[in-house]
Amino acid sequence: MAQVQTRMTRQRAVILEELRKTKTHPTADELYSIVRERLPRISLGTVYRNLDFLADSGEIRRLEAAGSTKRFDGDISRHQHVRCIQCGRIGDVMDMHEAPSVEGMNVEGFSSVLSSRIEYDGICSACAGRVRGDIQ
């Protein structure tokens, strides 16, 4: 049985550092472009694998919404997200509203419910400005 690599490699450290510097909740492809400036020989597959590892280990958050591209957040503090329905941009919502507790929740056909989250939909300022500009 293969042993899981758990050490903080240089590649993993750079990916984590660059993700924590950005507030844009990048996709793996977007982060790959940023990381390549520091590690020109890194592959896209390596970025994907390390993002999955970092998310699974709780170092970062994986943002997945039905029908949209997976994004990543280097800020693991308790907060929610708002997604622009026009362009897909994601923003942080620090004014916390608690997601419903899943403790003791019974759902037919499920042995357990592990977590819940709140994600808001909206229109970002840039898209709202374009809509107003189109109307005038």
Q: Which residues are annotated as a binding site for Zn(2+)?
A: 84, 87, 124, 127
In the block, residue with structure tokens 């020109």: 40
Residue set of the binding site for Fe cation? 98
**Quick one: tokens of 116?**
């819940």
Residue set of the binding site? 84, 87, 98, 124, 127
**Quick one: tokens of 48?**
């994907």
Check if the beta carbon of residue 27 is closer than 8 Å to that of residue 68. Answer: no
How many other CB atoms are there within 10 angstroms of residue 71's CB atom? 22
Taking Cα atoms as reference points, which of 33, 25, 14 lies closest to residue 75? 25
Q: Phi, psi at residue 51, to the nearest 5°?
A: -65, -45
**Quick one: tokens of 45?**
């597959």
